[in-house]
Amino acid sequence: MMFAFSIFAASSPAPVDTNFVDPAITDDNAAAKQLTDVLKKDGVKMDSVLDEHFMFASVIWSAVAGGYLLYARKQREIPPFLGGVAMMAVSFMVASWFWMSLICIALMFGIYFQMKQGD
């Protein structure tokens, strides 16, 4: 399904510099306009949030985090639980697929070494 989505997203006739937020919608909605203004002020590009690399990385790392949470529940272990929560938070809060992947990989190594220390 992600492959089909990426094909449609990649072959879109829209220009590259298109802003995905419709100004007609944000001008009528004060809360949406305020949110887009804050995001622009913080340097977040709206089209980077809808980038296929970001979406794919977010889905992958959220799934890995869910696996850690299920493992932690079944084994009654704290480090995988904390790592799963941290990975889930990173996949929601980091706006770059590259940094999200690096942080999640570092968390995976941290969980691995913490679990080795417990043995």
Tens of pLDDT, residue by residue over 72-98, are: 999 898 999 999 999 999 988 888 888
pLDDT on residue 49: 57
Torsion of CA 85, 20, 31, 38, to 10 degrees: 70
Judge whether 9 and 36 are in contact, CB under 8 Å: no
Pairwise CA distance, residues 73 & 17, whole Å: 45
pLDDT on residue 48: 56
pLDDT on residue 85: 93
Residues of the chain with pLDDT under 70: 1-29, 43-50, 119
- The tokens describing 30, both together, are 């004060």
Pairwise CA distance, residues 105 & 61, whole Å: 9
pLDDT on residue 105: 94
